[in-house]
Amino acid sequence: MGRMHIDDEMREVTQNILDSGAWIKGPESKAFGAEWAEYCGAYAGTPCSNGSVALIAALHVLGVGPGDEVIVPSHTYIASATCIELVRATPIFVEVEEEYYTIDPESMRSAITEKTKAIIAVHLYGQPVDQSIFEIAKQHQIPVIEDSAQGHGGALNNRRIGSFGDIATFSFFPSKNMAVGGDGGAIITTREDLADSIRLFIDHGRSDKYRNDILGTNFRLSEIQCGIGRVQLKHLNHWVERRNLIANRYLESLSDTEFELPKIRPGAIHAWHQFVLRVSNRESFIDHMSNHGISTGIHYPIPCHLQPVFSKHPQSKLGTLAFTEKLCNEIVSIPVFPLLTDDEVQRVITAVQLFNQ
């Protein structure tokens, strides 16, 4: 399902940072944060240790805590929801759109209460969320966190993912559209008033070595990983273009099959972190693909509201979110990473087509 890009420039940057002795809080982290924010169209950015802590930091900076509610789609990776519990707030699970699989605006609107302190909008699979999410949130004066862990390089109406909400969080885990040689993440913001709080929070809340102005902890990212991230950023646009070329080949070649293919939101550049089919007999399909030497994945088989960790949550019962539950029983991902060769792409297409015969 993935293949990592490693080149000589990454090796050289790593060696130079090792030789410099500046392994933490050096020029690479400052430059990477600024370059990533500029790329996404945000005001400021701060690298951090991974995408999960980026979400925790975002909630903390927005003042979310006990007694507060945070709206989040149930169809997402579990970190989008557990971050809410970890700041002692309550996740309110909502449906995703039937066409695009991102947070459904009307389901979100109906979930807003006087306790709603934030909304986490997930750009799932690289699909930009509906812009009305941000309009509805603005009407209710509720901040939006863009969970952009799968959205690197995506855009909607000529604006990059990460530039719509109050805060956006990213993961640079090795399987993501862009990586940093290990775990890694970033927090960016469009709001000048939040930039300093984010930067301070991930470094023990300190404005000087021994001066701690706010409550914080160590969520920093190392210089080596920031240096690698800066190299990878140079390739990101090309990689997203390649993902789109592969996805378009799938869409064209598989249009006559029995599978329900993913759709692209009008005006969007889909980041295609995953290419997700809907299959009625999923296990048979997975076995078939495996027999043809092709990996598949399920992103994600269990809705968050039905995860054991949320067994005591009021929404933790079958039938609560009917479409999400149905979707999670049908989805299966096929390879779409940019280092796939044209021959490998054709192998995937042929195998999928053979399943229909």
Domains of the chain, residue spans: 8-231, 235-355
Give the rounded percent of residues in the chain with a pLDDT score beyond 70: 100
Confidence at 356, pLDDT banded by 50, 70, 90: confident
Closest CA to 51 of 181, 176, 238, 230: 176
Alpha helices in 41-180 (DSSP H): 51-61, 79-86, 105-111, 132-139
Does domain 235-355 fall under CATH 3.90.1150.10? My reply is yes
CA distance 151 to 127: 7
Does this chain's domain 8-231 share its CATH topology with 235-355?
no
Q: pLDDT of 75-123, one tens digit each? A: 999 999 999 999 999 999 999 999 999 999 999 999 999 999 999 999 9
3-class SS of residue 275? strand
Mean pLDDT of the chain: 97
Asked whether the predicted pLDDT for residue 357 surpasses 80, the reply is no
Q: pLDDT of 218-271, one tens digit each? A: 999 999 999 999 999 999 999 999 999 999 999 999 999 999 999 999 999 999
Q: What is the mean pLDDT of residues 293-321?
A: 98
The amino acid occupying position 191 is R
Does domain 8-231 fall under CATH 3.10.20.30? My reply is no
